Amino acid sequence: MMTPFYKYGLFGDEISLLVAFVLGLGFGFFLERAGFGSARKLAAQFYLYDMSVFKVMFTAIVTAMLGVTYLGWLGWLDLDLVYLVPTHLGPQIVGGLVLGVGFVVGGYCPGTSVAALATGRLDAVVYALGIFAGTFVYAEVYPAIQGFVNANAMGQVTLPEVFELPWGLVVFVVVVIAVVGFWGATLIERRFRSEP
Amino acid sequence: MRLPQLTLNQKLAAVALVLGALALFSQPHRGPFVKLDARELALVVEQEVDHVKPAELAAWIVEGRSDYRLIDLRTTDEFAGYHIPTAENAQLPALTEYPLLRNEKIVLYSEGGIHSAQAWLLLRAQGYEGVYTVLGGLDGWKDEVLFPVLPVEAGPRERAQFERAAALAQFFGGQARTDGAATTEAPATALPKLAAPTATAPAMPTAPRRKKKEGC
């Protein structure tokens, strides 16, 4: 059997929404389990005394990357069919910075704010209202910034394609970066925790 | 010897490292979807370096070259009926699973030229670099190699060329036609019996080339 199931027509649009809902529940559950339903925990990342966000996110990246690689290797997943968000380098760096500032100021990122909302946190309600307001403003100014948003179109690219490296090598390097990063993050935590 | 006590996180990191190291040898699956460089392909077609002339292919066969894979895209029955010597049979839908290497010289042919051109595109799109089609397909092979026709107003030069072609045709079990365009309407072109070309003609295609070398 080959995946992705959706692209191979194993289920249609309606079922895909259901699948997305179940995946979303799982995502929210594990965000909450990691403590990311709390803005304190999330903001701690930026004060460097709790690197959980970095560790959890990078663990998710490595797990997914290894899973996708091995499923592809076994021939169970067609990597060419997996949708990738098209890369627009410049606009996405700016977008990342905007999201980062919102993350520090509001204490949540979009996913965690919804998880926090589900557990009834008031700050998350304010944050969610901010998301709607921001979405509205973005839609209104979109015609003016359209040119920039669509600049630097690189298509659906992956690191192995951009750097012209073998897939397996990139996987290995990312794993090494992650493991070194976890080790470094633990050192940083110790250092900043001792001087509160 | 006792292993040092590892925390769960350290164990997981070790597992990730091992899996990452193994992934160095991984070959990500490539499905039926492809990407292609449209400009590069268009240039290749424009420069006409995407095909092999039937006479060239015939020369390769006579020389006994083994640096190419000749793929017959027609049905198994048609292939059994007649095929160009050294050809292998592979149909279009199964072509992507057919054991071909990306660094081989792959020469495709079909009855006319359409299927082989389509197969050419499929293989190029999948990263096979050395893919060629036989110009005119099997029809071109018949016209040019098996049953060459002497032009009506043939000068001595054409005549000499025709003689070489006739010898080549004989080598491949065909028959040259000297009666010009008159018989092209109803060609007496029964395809030769399938037999390995073991006739005594191999000297023929090399002869003109040797002459050329002397000329230089």
| A110-118 and A13-33 helices, crossing angle to 10° | 80
Q: Break chain B into its structural domains and give their ranges.
A: 30-206
The token pair at A8 is: 């191979």
pLDDT at A138: 93
What is the SS3 assignment for A70-85?
HHHHHCCECHHHCCCC
Q: How many residues does chain B have?
A: 216
What is the C-alpha separation between B81 and B194, in angstroms, rounded? 8
Is residue B183 predicted with pLDDT exceeding 50?
A: no
| Consecutive H or E run containing A157 | none
Separation in Å, CA of A55 to nearest CA in chain B: 11
Q: Chain B contacts of A59, Cβ < 8 Å?
A: 12
Does residue B110 contact residue B145 with C-beta atoms inside 8 Å? no
Spatial CB neighbours of B188, under 8 Å, sequence gap ≥ 6: B175
- Centre a 10 Å sphere on the Cβ of residue B2 and count the other Cβ atoms it contains: 4
Interface with A, mutate which of B12, B25, B26, B33 (most A CBs under 10 A): B26
Cα–Cα nearest to B189, from B172, B177, B201, B171: B177
Name the closest residue on chain A to residue B17, using Cα atoms.
A175
Is residue B208 predicted with pLDDT exceeding 70?
A: no
Does residue A179 contact residue B17 with C-beta atoms inside 8 Å? yes
pLDDT at B105: 85
What is the C-alpha separation between B46 and B168, in angstroms, rounded? 30
Q: Chain B contacts of A58, Cβ < 8 Å?
A: none
pLDDT at B29: 60
Question: Are A69 and B28 an interchain contact pair (Cβ–Cβ within 8 Å)?
Answer: yes
Q: Break chain A into its structural domains and give their ranges.
A: 1-82+178-196, 85-155
pLDDT at B4: 73
pLDDT band for position B1 (cuts 50, 70, 90)? low
Mean pLDDT to the nearest integer, B162-179: 82
Is residue B204 predicted with pLDDT exceeding 50?
A: no
Q: Which residue has the higher pLDDT, A195 or B5?
A: B5
Q: Chain A contacts of B30, Cβ < 8 Å?
A: 78-80
pLDDT at A135: 93
What global pTM score does this model have? 0.54
Spatial CB neighbours of B200, under 8 Å, sequence gap ≥ 6: none
Is residue B212 predicted with pLDDT exceeding 70?
A: no
Mean pLDDT to the nearest integer, B85-93: 89
What percentage of chain B has pLDDT greater than the value 70? 76
Is residue B189 predicted with pLDDT exceeding 60?
A: no
User: B30-206: which CATH number, 3.40.50.720, 3.30.70.20, 3.40.190.10, 3.40.250.10?
Assistant: 3.40.250.10
- What SS3 class is residue B51? strand
Cα–Cα nearest to B138, from B108, B168, B178, B173: B108
pLDDT at B172: 87
Say how many CB pairs under 8 Å bridge A and B.
Answer: 74
Which range, A173-177, A192-196, B34-38, B184-188, has the best average confidence (pLDDT)? A173-177
Is residue B58 predicted with pLDDT exceeding 60?
A: yes
pLDDT band for position B28 (cuts 50, 70, 90)? low
| A110-118 and A122-149 helices, crossing angle to 10° | 150
Q: Which residue has the higher pLDDT, B89 or B200?
A: B89
Separation in Å, CA of B42 to nearest CA in chain A: 21
CB-nearest to A167 from B21, B28, B31 is B28
Q: Chain A contacts of B125, Cβ < 8 Å?
A: none
Using the Cβ of A84 and the Cβ atoms of chain B, whether some distance falls under 8 Å is answered with no
pLDDT tens for chain A, residues 1 to 196? 556 666 556 677 788 889 889 999 999 999 999 889 888 888 888 888 888 889 988 999 999 999 999 988 887 877 766 778 888 899 999 999 999 999 988 889 888 999 999 999 999 999 999 999 999 999 999 999 988 888 887 777 888 888 888 888 999 999 999 999 999 999 998 888 865 5
0.95 surpassed by complex ipTM: no
Q: In this predicted model, what pLDDT tens digit does every residue of B145-163 receive, in sequence order?
A: 888 888 777 788 888 888 8
Mean pLDDT to the nearest integer, B8-28: 87
pLDDT band for position B35 (cuts 50, 70, 90)? low
pLDDT at A127: 93
What is the C-alpha separation between A103 and A36, in angstroms, rounded? 12
pLDDT band for position B213 (cuts 50, 70, 90)? very low
- What SS3 class is residue A117? helix
What is the C-alpha separation between A108 and A124, in angstroms, rounded? 8
What is the C-alpha separation between A79 and B27, in angstroms, rounded? 11
Q: Chain B contacts of A174, Cβ < 8 Å?
A: 20
